[in-house]
Structure 1
Amino acid sequence: MSVDPWLTIVGLGEDGPDGLPHASRKALENAEVVMGAARHLSLLPQITAETVTWPVPYADGLTLLLKNRGRQTVVLASGDPFWHGAGGSLTKHLEPGEWRSLPAPSTMSLAAATLGWPLESTITMGLHAAPFARLRPHLANGARAIVTLRDGDAASDFAAWLTGIGFGASTLHVLEALGGPRQRIRQSAAQELAFTDITHPVSVAIEAQGGPALTTASGRADTFFENDGQITKRPVRALTLSALAPLPGEHLWDIGGGSGSIAIEWLLAHPRTRATSVEINADRAERIKANAASLGADRLKVVTGAAPEALAGLDAPDAIFIGGGISEEMLQTVWQQMPEGARLVANAVTLEAEVLLANWQAQNGGDLLRIELAHANPLGRKRGWKSAYPIVQWSVTK
């Protein structure tokens, strides 16, 4: 049985209802309750509906909204509610058929139309309630991005952050109140931004310049990861990520996280990948969190504790990496907890660990790979090869 929606999510531009399509204006005329931020409510003409200012914290507003279930209710949102907007957080609390959305042009669309940037080749991100570092993997010379920010102070903080990571030469287009009578657009290099009167709502378009950029290939430079020597080095990391073969939506267990480089690169492979890093050393666990945050992978979950005990209660993995502390007990526990179809990659350095992996490979199949690397080093007035310890890698699908 179809049910008429009691909730309408209306996208509102800075010119208020004047620029709204007929359906949005009609929804406002027929509403019993209108909810929205104070800024959005101030754009409306005199209306007969009860008005409710959306409170802070945001979650309290959801409680108020659901109390109106069954009454004709309008929630005001900026632009397109489902493009870095409030739509997704609202509708996950509702049943199909309870709501409808009437979008207006999004901030991203207005910015692209103003600057002449094709949206399909422009990075778009909502950073008004997210760390600036979410943009870090996308920054490279010539990259274009449009981001929403919390307020004018955040725009200055954003410019300082860009400068701090080497992208101070980037051109910033500071976009205020797009689409309305207060619209203002100004440009500055990030390292020179000195505007003190930036007003909300604000977004920033970036033409990136500087570096260093993060390569899109596995095996990023070791220098991106703060570490105390416990790190899977770049060439071995590239081979390990290739064996782990991350897919969108998959979850990795990184056992013996060290610097977090494996888990972080897993997360950089796709925005829907998930990862949990298990590290016994508390200092290293904190370092893993900091590395993840600085590289835009703050969704990494870090568990401080000893495996296999620390694995209890974790979400089931699609792939597992064991980079240190391999033991018979560890492999037994991991193998029992792995679901069918999950992948395991383990790297061994010691002879004892090599024997252990060889035995497990003989029993359970998979591939054994011996990795031997050497780097050119000074040898007197000439150069010679300095070999690293060989690594034996076992990769298997259960």
Structure 2
Amino acid sequence: MKEKQIYLIGIGMGTEGTLTEKARELINKSQILIGAKRMLEPFAKEGKELFYSYKADEIKAYLCQKETFQSACVLLSGDVGFYSGSKKLLEVLGDFEVELIPGITSMVYFCSRLRTSWEDVCFGSAHGKTINVIQRIQRYKKCFFLLDGEVSLKRLCEKLRYYGMEGVTLHVGENLSYEDERIVTGKPEDFETMAFGTLLVVLIENVSAKNWVASSIPDEAFIRTKVPMTKSEVRTISIGKLQLEADSVVYDVGGGSGSVSVEMAMQSPDIKVYSVEKKPEALELMEQNKRKFAADNIEIIEGNAPEALEKLPAPTHAFIGGSSGNLDRIVDCIFEKNPMCRIVINTIALNSMAQVMELFKSHPEYESDIVQIQASNAKQAAGYQMMMGQNPIYIITLWRKTQEARG
């Protein structure tokens, strides 16, 4: 079927005015047009065969049962390389000769309408997927997102207000390039009562944005109560031992104050942290610190481990700061979910360290790295700087022997 030519065409915003001349030429001479109904309506002409679908498998099945055509065009909104269906289509149309024709993206068009550059924009899509928009807005002065309609916009504004980001400016675009195109600028609270349709984009400006990577956040930066907190020096070493990646899925077992969860979450907007805690006072404090740092990629789980872990997605990494005597069961649960998971355990008590050693004896397939540290901090006393020691702590890194060595 290689003699049959398929063009995947980015048609811009959807109207003929945002179509490139190359795209127009191919559409005019093609026998078959394929795409969502909204995509095809401006180009439906006498003599053209139309197939309404945006699903890759349906498009492939349709083309495979056609015998007489020479070329067909699949019309896709925006550009074929910007959150487009072309990626999946390229995977399934391997038996055809496929060519991609670029178009104008919604981001480029919208920024031009706002008379602003897009070279410094952080962009993403919340269309049918979960994305940590809050941390991106926190880090970048300009962010562009494709939205899932009015509900998605209202949820975004609610989050911005919850995390204390009421001062950002939103530019919302609806039905771009069409006759009923609408662009509205305002603060999060301004959109509470506004009604919108489904074709939405948003550009968010945050003049207070700071693109920082959290490393050794000072202890005093966290909200504190009597709930125990892993100190800054220990957090730094423990998170370093985890060797997190930009899109890691992490368990924090015994989340406590949330300090470890927050610092892990702040490493990357695409890290997902599940912080498991059973004590009500700790859960409340954890939520307060999550809110203070706008760490929207933390999901707080109330319950006892390992039971509370069972329904969670498989982790790539796990930090265990408290096990309530269930260390062996927790480790077993984690490795059952992902045999390649990397685990870091913190313990102060010798009893807990004895549990770790028993774990090693019963599981010779485990590899480990054990570090003991005792940090001291200077304090002013009678005109002198006195070193005040913290409790010594064991930091145990655990992985299976089958796991490829890292770093």
Identity of aligned residues (%): 17
- CA change 1:264–1:49 in 2 (3 A) is farther
* Equivalent residue letter for 1:169: G
Asked if the contact 1:289/1:302 (under 8 Å) is kept, the reply is no
Q: Say which of 213, 218, 225 aligns to 1:216.
A: 213
Matched, 1:370 2:370: no
- TM-superposed CA distance for 1:107, in Å, is 0.9
Match of 2:58 in 1: 64
Asked if the contact 1:15/1:181 (under 8 Å) is kept, the reply is no
Match of 2:32 in 1: 32
- TM-superposed CA distance for 1:258, in Å, is 6.2
Measure the CA separation in 2 of the matches of 1:311 and 1:127: 27
Q: Which runs of 5+ in 2 are unaligned?
A: 380-385, 402-407
* Equivalent residue letter for 1:134: N
- CA change 1:177–1:332 in 2 (3 A) is closer
- TM-superposed CA distance for 1:104, in Å, is 0.9
- CA change 1:256–1:328 in 2 (3 A) is closer
- TM-superposed CA distance for 1:135, in Å, is 0.9
- TM-superposed CA distance for 1:102, in Å, is 1.7
Asked if the contact 1:278/1:305 (under 8 Å) is kept, the reply is no
Match of 2:200 in 1: 202
Match of 2:187 in 1: 189
Matched, 1:119 2:118: yes
Alignment of 1:90-105 (within 5 A): 90-95=89-94, 99-105=98-104
Measure the CA separation in 2 of the matches of 1:312 and 1:134: 22
Matched, 1:135 2:99: no
Asked if the contact 1:34/1:49 (under 8 Å) is kept, the reply is no
Q: Which runs of 5+ in 1 are unaligned?
A: 377-383
- TM-superposed CA distance for 1:137, in Å, is 1.1
Match of 1:166 in 2: 164
Q: TM-score, normalised by structure 2?
A: 0.68
Matched, 1:237 2:239: no
- CA change 1:282–1:335 in 2 (3 A) is closer
Asked if the contact 1:167/1:209 (under 8 Å) is kept, the reply is no
- TM-superposed CA distance for 1:235, in Å, is 5.1
- TM-superposed CA distance for 1:128, in Å, is 2.9
- TM-superposed CA distance for 1:103, in Å, is 2.3
Residue-by-residue CA offset, 1:37-61 (whole Å, 9 max, x unaligned): x33233324253333444xxx7xx3
Measure the CA separation in 2 of the matches of 1:215 and 1:231: 23
- CA change 1:344–1:195 in 2 (3 A) is closer
Matched, 1:107 2:118: no
- CA change 1:126–1:352 in 2 (3 A) is same
Asked if the contact 2:371/2:396 (under 8 Å) is kept, the reply is yes
Match of 1:16 in 2: 15
Match of 1:380 in 2: none
Asked if the contact 1:248/1:273 (under 8 Å) is kept, the reply is yes
Residue-by-residue CA offset, 1:170-195 (whole Å, 9 max, x unaligned): 12222233345444433222233477
Measure the CA separation in 2 of the matches of 1:302 and 1:99: 47
Larger deviation, residues 352-361 vs 3-12: 352-361
SS of the residue 1:9 aligns to: strand
Alignment of 1:230-269 (within 5 A): 232=230, 236-248=234-246, 262=260, 265-266=263-264, 268-269=266-267
- CA change 1:336–1:130 in 2 (3 A) is closer
Asked if the contact 1:249/1:274 (under 8 Å) is kept, the reply is yes
SS of the residue 1:366 aligns to: strand
Asked if the contact 2:33/2:75 (under 8 Å) is kept, the reply is no
Residue-by-residue CA offset, 1:282-341 (whole Å, 9 max, x unaligned): 999x9999979x83437x898988559978998685x55333337784699699989999
- TM-superposed CA distance for 1:14, in Å, is 3.4
Q: TM-score, normalised by structure 1?
A: 0.70
What is the root-mean-square deviation in Å for CA atoms of aligned residues? 5.2
- TM-superposed CA distance for 1:79, in Å, is 0.6
* Equivalent residue letter for 2:79: D
Measure the CA separation in 2 of the matches of 1:90 and 1:221: 49
- TM-superposed CA distance for 1:371, in Å, is 4.0
- CA change 1:322–1:107 in 2 (3 A) is same
* Equivalent residue letter for 1:238: T
Measure the CA separation in 2 of the matches of 1:227 and 1:128: 39
- CA change 1:247–1:178 in 2 (3 A) is same
* Equivalent residue letter for 1:34: I
